[in-house]
Amino acid sequence: MDMLVNLYQLPEKRTSDNYTIRRVLPPDIHRVCGIVKETFGEGWASEILPALYRQPSSCYIAEHAGRVVGFACFDATALGYFGPIGLREENRGGGLGGALLVETLYGMREAGYGYGIIGWCDDAADFYRKAVGAKPIDHSMPEDTVYQRLLMFP
């Protein structure tokens, strides 16, 4: 299912001394895409390319000790959509995913959006509900949304 989030009711941005969250700069595009492909697969690496090539980029990364440990995008699969988002396994569970989500949603708001669609988030619906108050969108199964054009659907 897809979910909807009000970008004017976001929690405050969270920071950490151990992590830096920032937009991807053009010189880092191929490096970030390679890390995403290696860590999360070719599908997400392909999906983030439109976000990486926007100016300014609509792809954010989380870094720790000079290493990319996570990423999040908007306007990748479709305009007004958040996602994908990914964190290395060892960096999950400590609040970094929520901080990366909120930072990226603030980027959407700064780009002029009032609401954001979080696409195809079945497994993470509770995370989005708790982190940013996202609500399910009726009749939004992947085969009934923008994702119906993916090669996996007949």
DSSP notation for 61-110 = EEEETTEEEEEEEESSSSTTEEEEEEE-GGGTTSSHHHHHHHHHHHHHHH
List domains and CATH numbers for the chain: 3-149 (3.40.630.30)
pLDDT digits (tens, 9 = 90+) for 45-101: 999 999 999 999 999 999 999 899 999 999 999 999 999 999 999 999 889 999 999
Q: Read off the tokens for 67.
A: 């290493």
Angle between helices 42-53 and 29-40 (to 10 degrees): 160
153: pLDDT confidence band, cut at 50, 70 and 90?
A: low
75 or 149: which leads in pLDDT: 75
- Look over the chain and give the mean of its residue pLDDT values, rounded to a whole number: 93
Residues with Cβ within 8 Å of 112's Cβ and at least 6 positions away in sequence, in order, are none
